[in-house]
Amino acid sequence: MSTLPPCPKCNSEYTYEDGAQLICPECAHEWSAGGEAEAASDDTVKKDSVGNVLQDGDTITVIKDLKVKGTSLVVKVGTKVKNIRLCEGDHDIDCKIDGIGPMKLKSEFVRKV
């Protein structure tokens, strides 16, 4: 019988190879042969709006005016934020913005400098 792994989505044993991809004919799920370990590590990687990988201590720039909830303050486009910390949850970045204070930002609204 086949030595290919079962489908990770529906556990079907009828998977087949198509180049570097494995495909399940029952649920149409596609994955790479060594991709299970890669997929787990991709979940922890945070990327900015352009696709650059973010790390703790990076400097970023805000790419959109962001209203600060509960106040009349606005974080303007082009605001530089130094020494960010990555975190889990709805917002990806913990930081301190001059003139505003500690904030949490989403990585989709920033660009790495």
Distance between CA atoms of residues 106 and 83, nearest Å: 15
CB atoms within 10 A of CB 103: 16
Work out the average pLDDT over 29-48: 68
The pLDDT of residue 37: 46
What pLDDT digit, counting tens, does each position of 5-27 carry?
A: 888 888 888 899 888 889 999 98
Q: What is the pTM of this model?
A: 0.61
Residue with the bigger pLDDT between 16 and 1: it is 16
- The structure tokens listed for 33 are 């042969």
Assigned CATH for 1-38:
2.20.25.10
CATH architecture of 59-112: Roll (2.30)
Domain residue extents for the chain: 1-38, 59-112
The proportion of the chain whose per-residue pLDDT surpasses 70, expressed as a percent, equals 89
The pLDDT of residue 39: 46
